[in-house]
């Protein structure tokens, strides 16, 4: 489907929640949106996992320790949070999301399924998008290909991925990640973009 086709059949929303199985490429799709659509605000999550090479604090994640994460939870500073792959905690700082929406910016969260379910309860007006791999084999190939996890970690992620694939029906829209840029454009087509909500010439 082209972006125009997507616009024609799906509702658009100012807040889009992107979820999907592990290693489907959510982060890569989000990075493509970030690079090509600076008008879209993308949430930076807090996480207790250590940074991977090349990851920057405040850009890819806010890297925090357990005590700081506890403090954020206790202070109700997170819109949602979850333990992902039974390994680390990840959460969405609430205030930046509220500020982006209040400023009229289209906003996107790239989070796991447990987090998406929590946001569905607190912000049901958001549009929930499921990013799906072209096939199970392709998902396994991508997971193994990344090579950043241990075998045990990979097995844990595959187990999570199987469960997550089954959740597609809970989502408003599915995008198949055949190719990153096309998937990113489909995603952006689902957002209410600034120039459309605030036309420069309203007459």
**Of 9-48, which residues contact ligand 5GP (CB under 6 A)?**
22, 26-27, 45
Instruction: Say whether residue 82 binds ligand 5GP (CB under 6 A).
Output: yes
| Least gap, CB of 155 to ligand 5GP (angstroms) | 15
**CB of 33 or CB of 111, closer to ligand 5GP:** 111
Among 25, 106, 115, 133, which residue interacts with ligand 5GP (rule: CB under 6 A)?
115
Residues belonging to the chain: 203
- 27 vs 104, which CB is nearer to ligand 5GP? 27
Distance, first Cα to last Cα, the chain: 32
Residue 110 binds to ligand 5GP (criterion: CB under 6 A): yes
Of the two residues 50 and 199, which places its CB atom closer to ligand 5GP in the complex?
50
- Asked if 24 and 89 count as a contact pair (C-beta separation under 8 A), the reply is no
| 97: its two tokens | 């999301």
Please list the alpha-helical segments (H only) found in the chain. 3-9, 26-36, 66-74, 94-102, 113-122, 136-146, 151-165, 180-189, 194-197
* Cβ-closest position to ligand 5GP: 115
Distance of alpha carbon 99 from alpha carbon 161, whole angstroms: 32
Residue 152 to residue 46: CA distance in whole angstroms: 24
Are 37 and 187 within 8 A, CB to CB? Answer: no
Site for ligand 5GP contains 92 (CB under 6 A): yes
Q: Which residues bind ligand 5GP (CB under 6 A)?
A: 22, 26-27, 45, 49, 80, 82, 84, 90-92, 110-112, 114-115
């Amino acid at each position: 489907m082209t972006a125009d086709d997507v616009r024609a059949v799906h509702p658009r929303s100012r807040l889009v929640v992107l979820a999907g199985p592990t290693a489907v490429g959510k982060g890569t799709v989000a990075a493509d949106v970030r690079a090509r659509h600076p008008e879209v605000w993308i949430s930076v999550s807090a996480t207790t996992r250590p940074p991977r090479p090349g990851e920057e604090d405040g850009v890819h994640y806010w890297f925090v320790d357990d005590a700081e994460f506890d403090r954020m939870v206790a202070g109700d500073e997170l819109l949602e949070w979850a333990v992902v792959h039974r390994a680390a905690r990840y959460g969405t700082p609430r205030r930046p999301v509220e500020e982006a929406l209040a400023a009229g910016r289209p906003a996107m969260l790239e989070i796991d399924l447990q987090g998406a379910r929590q946001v569905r309860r607190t912000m049901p007006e958001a549009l929930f998008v499921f990013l799906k791999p072209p096939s199970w084999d392709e998902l396994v190939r991508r997971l193994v290909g990344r090579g950043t996890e241990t075998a045990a970690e990979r097995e844990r992620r595959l187990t999570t991925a199987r469960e997550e694939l089954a959740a597609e029906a809970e989502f408003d829209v599915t995008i198949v990640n055949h190719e990153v840029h096309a998937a990113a454009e489909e995603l952006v087509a689902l957002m209410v973009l600034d120039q459309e909500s605030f036309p420069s010439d309203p007459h």
